[in-house]
Chain A
């Protein structure tokens, strides 16, 4: 168990409750003490705090050499929703009599911020619980230094209600800049920018604000499409054959982000519980994939994939390991280039013709311990060789991923049928030409012999 995990198991402190106890104790102490001492022990007012911390450039050099910013712009804090609770609402442990402390053990700004998340939790328990279930928290627990905690998205000294729902200020853009740029150009962002009353979603509308789940699980964003766009199924059924199948194997952005490149992701699934295999599974682990992916310069080839699946099945995994194919935008950013439905791809040839772009890029994926998908490049031939019958039996786009050898069979059938007829005709003519045709022995009357006689 790492340090972060331990941190999140601290019993929840009720900040206000704790603060009330501290304030009550201070009050009793003050009643028995001298008036001068009472002034020293009273909680500082925000004005007192900002008297020092409002000065630009106030900072503290930590032991590891990093800088902890101590400056709080007074005007920003005044506009913040947190100004109502004042500085001690969060920094309840500050005692003016001993502040600043001679020594405070703060290893790094990051560790300080992580510690302070417990203060956020005191008031925003529900949001904190949601965050704890998120991919962000999972990454924090795995010591990912870039994973966001409360203060990475919400400036604690400048929290403005609704700011996180503004296209301009949405905090997700700090880490997901490429996705944000794509989103800015999408119909959703444009609608939102045009009208403040628009119900078009911002990031949290599809991914949720705090319980952010990795898209690899295939549960979040697409369900969000259905939540807002009522009647999707019926609308598609009017023109799209096999609608339910398309909804299962084609992600919404694959068609509704028409400028996106598309790819096929084949996820390894344990058929027993229909759950994706995890990369932390020793039998599936990264080394196995990496070994397979080295079998060809273009990634895992058809034979290596079939061998891999056989290996997985031999290794004692309870259910048969299968690949679940899905057509999707090539990158997360491209998945956000959503347009008006009038521009969406509705030409079946985009996917159903041989050599179409979506099937030129293939990944084989598993789920990392934190929940995100880990994809390994595969050769496009995994989709259209005879071996694919065994390994990718569950994913097939008519025309687009057809098995080439069957085309040869179809051509042979045409040539064979036509050749049989033409050959038979020619032989008949040759026998006549060579005088080998003797209708008399067949009982035919010569007058009827104007062609091969039969049946």
Chain B
């Protein structure tokens, strides 16, 4: 085992702010949408917290963006330009999670400082960070003050359309957070990856001969 400094401090700060923020948004979002069925806090409190944390997440997103745009670590997000390689890598990773891991096979992906996402993560995180979160922030801002942004709201077909897009991404994020936390527990110990996201250091095994 060797230790690699995979997660710089700005990334860790961004990640945990994002993590607690997204969970708060999901919980308050559930309270807002299902008031009457869920009555943990008042509707108004949920709305105020949802709005406040929403803006914190937006600011946090830009911190993430500025950090990566100004750092050579942005390489971790650069996509695999060869569709064949990307497809094969994704297939191997999906096979591993779906079968190989149960058999005790080695993880086909080996983490490094400039390559910390496996092909599935790479694809997913680009979709989340470059599409879903911006859209979620945008629709959230529109609903935060519908009158102020009424021209844009109307352009997209009305507040109901905006809300529906917001809820669709909300549903995806619920699934994502649950799956993300579970997959995070699949390190060489259950808490290895969580620890790494606190300390910045991942424990990395020596690559097996022939492994990627």
Residues of A within 8 A of B (CB): 239, 241-242, 244-245, 248, 348-349, 352-356, 388-390, 392-396, 398-399, 401-403, 406, 409-410, 412-414, 416-418, 420-421, 424-425, 427-428, 430-431, 436-444, 448-455
Contact = CB atoms under 8 A, between A and B. Distances in A.
B148 interface: yes
Contacts of A248: 147
Considering residues B47, B178, B183, B186, which has the most beta carbons from chain A within 10 angstroms of its beta carbon?
B178
Contact of B164 (A389, A416, A450): A389
> Chain B: interface secondary structure?
helix
B178 A354 contact: no
Nearest to B158: A393
A259 B208 CA distance: 75
Interface in B155-185: 157-161, 163-164, 167-168, 170-172, 174-179, 181-183
Nearest to B209: A443
Given A239-B44, A389-B157, A420-B178, A349 B164 contact: no
Interface residues of B, number: 60
Contacts, number: 170
Interface string B133-149: 00000000001111110
B161 A393 contact: yes
Contacts of A439: 104
Interface of B: 32-37, 42-44, 47-48, 51, 96-97, 100-107, 109, 111, 143-148, 154, 157-161, 163-164, 167-168, 170-172, 174-179, 181-183, 186-190, 193, 205, 208
A431 B101 CA distance: 10
A356 B154 CA distance: 26
Contacts of B172: 413
Nearest to B174: A413
Contact of A393 (B100, B157, B205): B157
Contact of B35 (A244, A349, A390, A427): A349
A418 B180 CA distance: 11
Contacts of B148: 244
B25 to A, nearest CB: 14
B102 to A, nearest CB: 4
A417 to B, nearest CB: 3
A392 B170 contact: no
Nearest to A424: B182
What 7 A-B pairs have minimum CB-CB distances, sorted nearest first?
A: A417-B178, A393-B158, A353-B36, A421-B182, A244-B147, A454-B186, A394-B158
A174 to B, nearest CB: 40
A24 B173 CA distance: 92
Contacts of B161: 389, 393
Contacts of B105: 441-442
B208 A443 contact: yes
A396 B36 contact: no
Contact of B170 (A410, A412, A425, A443): A410
